[in-house]
C-alpha cells in the first residue's frame, strides 16, 4: 500500500539527511518537493496546501533538540502533519446504542460495501464477541442479496432474508424486529449502491436512515479512486449524517490520495481500512500507524496485534510446555511452527508492516515468501516420522529420496535442515534460560 508515495517521500527526506542546521532555502525546496509528491499521490489541493503550510511553519520555527539531526526533526514534523491529516487518533465504532446497535452501510456499486459488511460482522463477532445479524436492502440486484448471504455464511453470522421487489424500509424494519427478538447486539444493514451518486439512491438511503436511526452510518469507498473518493463521500455527507468512512482496496492503492483527503474534505473520520479481498482483511484505522507506514517506518504494533490474533494460543502454550519438559525440538515441531506462520496470513502483508518493509518487499518481489513456507512444509511431509523425530538420520541417500518426494533439489533439503538447526539452537536457549536469555543472545 502507498508504495509510490512512500518512495517519493523517502527521496525528499533522504536529501535532508546528515546536514547541519536546515536553512530556509532548504526548507522551501523540501516543501516544494513534498507538495509535488502529494499532488502526484492525488491528494485534494486544499489538503495539500494546508499540509505544506503547516510543515513549513513548523520547520522554520523548530527548535532542533539535541538528540535529533535537522533531517530527523523534519521527518518528525512531516510524520506529525501526516498523522493529523489522517485524523490524529483512531475513532472507534460507537455501539453504545440500546441493542441492537444499528450500522447502516452506504456507498457506490463496486466500492466493496457487501464485502465490508461481512468483514465488519466478522470483526465484531471475533474481536468484540458480539452477536451480529446482517441484512441486505439491495432489492434491485438479486446477486447482491445472494453475495451477502454467501459471505455472511462464511463468517458465521446470521442473515435476515430479503428478496428483490420488497420495500427496503420494510425489510429493514422487519430485520430490526427480528434482531430484537433474538437479542442481537449489532445489526448491519447493507444498502443498494448505484454507479454514480443519484437522487433516487440518496432518497432511498435517507428513508432507511430515518426509519432505523442508526448509531453508525458508514460510507464505504474505493481508495483507488483517489481524491474522487473524498468528493463522493462529501456528496453523501451532505445528505446523510455520516459517522465515518471505510476505505477499501488500500492494498491496491499505491498513491494514498484518498486516505489523505477524506478527513479534511468530509470532516468525517476514517474508521476502517480494507486491505484485501478476504473477510479478515479489515483493520481499525490508526492515523499514527498509517503515517509511520507511509514514511516507511512500519507498523510494529499492528504487526504484533495481527500476530497475537492469529496464533493458536492453546497450541502455542502446549508447545512451550513441551519444550520446557522435553527440551527437544524436532522437525515435527518445526513444521508446526511453519503452519502457524502460514496461518498468520500472507507474508507479504506482514512484511509490509515492518520498518523499511515496503522497500524490502520491493527488493524481494521475485521471492515468494508464502511459497517458501509451503515448500518447507512439503519437504517435511516427505520425511518419515522417524526422520522428523531424529533429523540426524537424514544423510545423503535419504536427502535424495526426500527431495524427489517433494519435487525439489537436494540443496533445498539441505537449506531446510540448516534453517531447522538454527531454530533448534534458539529453541534450546528458550527452553533452558527463557526469553530474557534469548533476547540477550540475539542482541549480543
113 is in an annotated binding site: yes
Rounded to whole angstroms, the Cα distance separating 259 from 246 reads 10
Among 112, 226, 257, 391, indicate the residue that binds ligand GDP (CB under 6 A). Answer: 112
Q: Which stretch binds ligand GDP (CB under 6 A): 245-253, 356-364, 366-374, 375-383?
A: 245-253
Least distance in Å: CB of 363 to ligand GDP?
23
Q: Respond yes or no on whether the N-terminal peptide bond of residue 100 is cis (omega within 30° of 0).
A: yes
User: Is 109 annotated in some ligand binding site?
Assistant: yes
Instruction: Tell me whether residue 255 is annotated as binding.
Output: no
Task: Confirm or deny that 345 is annotated as ligand binding.
Answer: no
Region for 156 from its dihedrals, namely left if φ exceeds 0, alpha if ψ lies in -120 to 50, beta otherwise: left
Contact indicator for 272, 242 with CB cutoff of 8 Å: no
Cell, residue 386: 522417524
The rounded radius of gyration (Å) of the Cα atoms in the chain is: 26
Distance of closest approach, residue 360 Cβ to ligand GDP, in angstroms:
21
- Is 122 an interacting residue with respect to ligand GDP (CB under 6 A)? no
Instruction: Give me the least distance between CB of 284 and ligand GDP, in Å please.
Output: 14
Pull the grid cell for residue 79: 510524520
Cell of 132: 451480529
Q: Shortest Cβ distance from residue 405 to ligand GDP (Å)?
A: 36
CB 6, min distance to ligand GDP, A: 19
Triad 211, 214, 219: Cα angle to 5° = 110
Start-to-end C-alpha separation, the chain: 34
For residue 109, state whether it binds ligand GDP (rule: CB under 6 A): yes
CB of 94 to ligand GDP, least distance (A): 23
Contact 254, 226 (CB under 8 A): no
What is 232-285 written as a DSSP string?
HHHHHHHHS---EEEEE-GGG-SS-HHHHHHHHHHS--EEEEE-SSSTT-EEE-
Q: Which residues 123-152 are close enough to bind ligand GDP by CB under 6 A? A: 147
**Span of 73-81, 203-211, 244-252, 435-443 interacting with ligand GDP by CB under 6 A:** 244-252
Ramachandran angles phi, psi of 42, nearest 5°: 65, 40
Binding of ligand GDP at residue 91 (CB under 6 A)? no
Q: Which is nearer to ligand GDP, 10 or 117 (CB)?
A: 117
Give the other-Cβ count within 10 Å of 251's Cβ.
18
The C-alpha angle 309, 315, 321, rounded to 5 degrees, equals 125
Tell whether residue 249 is a contact of ligand GDP (CB under 6 A).
yes
Is residue 257 part of an annotated ligand binding site? no
153 binds ligand GDP (CB under 6 A): no
- The residue written with cell numbers 463521500 in the block is 233
For residue 345, state whether it binds ligand GDP (rule: CB under 6 A).
no
Is the C-alpha dihedral spanning 169, 170, 171, 172 positive or negative?
Answer: positive
- What are the helix (H) ranges across 311-368? 313-326, 331-343, 347-351, 357-363
For ligand GDP, the closer CB: 30 or 282: 282
Residue 241 in the binding site for ligand GDP (CB under 6 A): no
Q: Which residues are 188's β-sheet partners? A: 103, 134
Nearest distance from C-beta of residue 208 to ligand GDP, angstroms: 16
Q: Does residue 274 interact with ligand GDP by CB under 6 A?
A: yes
Residue 110 marked as a ligand binder: yes
- Binding test (CB under 6 A) with ligand GDP, winner from 248, 266, 279, 376: 248
Residue 276 known to bind ligand? no
- For position 111 contacting ligand GDP by CB under 6 A, the verdict is yes
Q: How far apart are CA 263 and CA 84, in angstroms?
A: 9
- Site residues (CB under 6 A) for ligand GDP, limited to 174-203: 193
108 among annotated binding-site residues: yes
The window from 125-133, 155-163, 232-240, 274-282 that contacts ligand GDP (CB under 6 A) reads: 274-282
Name the site residues for ligand GDP (rule: CB under 6 A).
107, 109-115, 147, 193, 248-249, 251-252, 274-277, 281
Residues placed in the known binding site: 107-114, 190-194, 248-251
Residues placed in the known binding site for GTP: 107-114, 190-194, 248-251
Amino acid at each position: 500500500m502507498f508504495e509510490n508515495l512512500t518512495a517519493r517521500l523517502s527521496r525528499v527526506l533522504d536529501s535532508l539527511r546528515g546536514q547541519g542546521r536546515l536553512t530556509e532555502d532548504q526548507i522551501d525546496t523540501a516543501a516544494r518537493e513534498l507538495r509535488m509528491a502529494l499532488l502526484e499521490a492525488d491528494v485534494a489541493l486544499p489538503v495539500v496546501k494546508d499540509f505544506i503550510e503547516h510543515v513549513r511553519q513548523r520547520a522554520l520555527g523548530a527548535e532542533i533538540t539535541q538528540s535529533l539531526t535537522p533531517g530527523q526533526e523534519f521527518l518528525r514534523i512531516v510524520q506529525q502533519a501526516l498523522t493529523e491529516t489522517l485524523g490524529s487518533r483512531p475513532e472507534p465504532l460507537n455501539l453504545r446504542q440500546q441493542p441492537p446497535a444499528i450500522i447502516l452501510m452506504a456507498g457506490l456499486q463496486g466500492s466493496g460495501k457487501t464485502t465490508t459488511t461481512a468483514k465488519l460482522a466478522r470483526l465484531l463477532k471475533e474481536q468484540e464477541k458480539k452477536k451480529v445479524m446482517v441484512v441486505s436492502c439491495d432489492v434491485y440486484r438479486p446477486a447482491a442479496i445472494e453475495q451477502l448471504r454467501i459471505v455472511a455464511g462464511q463468517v458465521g453470522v446470521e442473515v435476515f432474508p430479503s428478496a428483490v421487489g420488497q420495500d427496503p424500509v420494510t425489510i429493514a424494519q422487519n430485520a430490526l424486529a427480528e434482531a430484537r427478538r433474538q437479542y442481537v447486539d449489532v445489526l448491519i444493514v447493507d444498502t443498494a449502491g448505484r454507479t454514480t451518486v443519484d437522487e433516487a439512491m440518496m432518497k432511498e438511503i435517507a428513508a432507511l436512515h430515518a426509519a432505523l436511526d442508526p448509531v453508525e452510518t458508514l460510507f464505504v469507498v474505493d481508495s483507488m479512486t483517489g481524491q474522487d473518493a473524498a468528493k463522493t463521500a462529501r456528496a453523501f455527507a451532505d445528505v446523510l449524517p455520516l459517522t465515518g468512512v471505510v476505505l477499501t482496496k488500500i492494498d491496491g492503492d499505491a498513491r494514498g490520495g484518498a486516505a489523505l483527503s477524506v478527513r479534511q474534505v468530509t470532516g468525517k473520520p476514517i474508521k476502517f481500512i480494507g486491505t484485501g479481498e478476504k473477510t479478515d482483511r479489515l483493520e481499525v484505522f490508526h492515523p499514527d500507524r498509517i503515517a509511520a507506514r507511509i514514511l516507511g517506518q512500519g507498523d510494529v504494533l499492528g504487526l504484533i496485534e495481527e500476530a497475537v490474533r492469529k496464533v493458536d494460543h492453546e497450541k502455542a502454550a502446549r508447545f512451550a510446555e513441551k519444550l520446557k519438559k522435553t527440551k527437544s525440538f524436532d522437525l515435527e515441531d518445526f513444521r508446526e511452527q511453519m503452519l502457524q506462520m502460514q496461518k498468520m496470513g500472507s507474508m507479504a502483508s506482514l512484511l509490509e508492516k515492518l520498518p523499511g518493509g515496503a522497500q524490502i518487499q520491493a527488493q524481494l518481489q521475485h521471492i515468494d515468501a508464502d511459497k517458501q513456507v509451503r515448500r518447507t512444509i512439503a519437504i517435511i511431509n516427505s520425511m518419515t516420522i522417524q526422520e522428523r523425530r531424529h533429523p540426524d538420520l537424514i544423510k545423503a541417500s535419504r536427502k535424495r529420496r526426500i527431495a524427489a518426494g517433494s519435487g525439489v533439489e537436494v540443496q533445498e533439503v539441505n537449506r531446510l535442515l540448516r534453517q531447522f538447526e538454527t531454530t533448534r539452537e534458539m529453541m534450546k536457549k528458550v527452553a533452558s534460560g527463557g526469553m530474557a536469555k534469548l533476547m540477550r543472545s540475539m542482541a549480543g
